[in-house]
Amino acid sequence: MSDRDQEEALTAVERAMVAIRRSQTRRQLGRLASPDGGGAVDPTLFGVLDAVEGRDGACSVSDVATALGVDQPRASRLVVKAVDEGWVERAADPADARRTLLSLTAAGQEQVDRTHRFRQQVFARVMADWPDSDRVEFARLITAFVDSLARTTRS
């Protein structure tokens, strides 16, 4: 592959990633009605739920801030909103009473599950006419890309 081909590939990836980011805005997602009648969760609050769900074990506001790429005060405000919605609960860390641990409530877990189902239904519609092998290959490649991106941005 030539240098020119490599440059065009990188340009195509960059443009595709920008298009994906734009398609995930609140307004764009709000246009899609959830088939189960649950409506889409505000992506910002879903980020909190996703961060809490993604932790194996204890999750703090600092962990949420890191996962969302925001500062501690912003993460604290988002966590308060998620607590007010009844999706996240706070408890004192048994190992350090000064630290607060976060966990999903049953309602929060249902929101996470509903949102995952909703997104997967949207993706299934998008890829409905793709051959099965292309879906599997795309899943492998995008997962590898996201893993590499995470390693690169952590460095």
For residue 118, what pLDDT is reported?
Answer: 83
- Strand pairing report for 88-93 and 96-104: antiparallel
The two three-digit tokens of residue 2, written as one number: 């030539």
d(CA 88, CA 76): 12
**One domain, residues 9 and 61:** no
Whether residue 61 contacts residue 79, with contact meaning beta carbons closer than 8 Å, is answered with yes
pLDDT in tens, 13-37: 999 998 888 777 655 555 555 555 5
pLDDT at res. 29: 57
What is the sign of the dihedral through the CA atoms of 126, 44, 153 and 8? positive
Query: Any idea what the CATH number is for the domain that residue 111 is in?
Result: 1.10.10.10
CA-based radius of gyration for the chain: 18
Mean pLDDT of 134-152: 93
**19 plus 50 within the same structural domain:** no
Q: 36 lies in a domain?
A: no
Residues in the chain: 155
DSSP state of 127: T
- The tokens 């890309």 sit on which residue? 145
Q: For position 9, what pLDDT does the model report?
A: 93
Q: How far apart are CA 56 and CA 92, in angstroms?
A: 17
pLDDT score recorded for residue 15: 93
- Is 116 a member of any domain? yes
* Domain around 9: 1-31
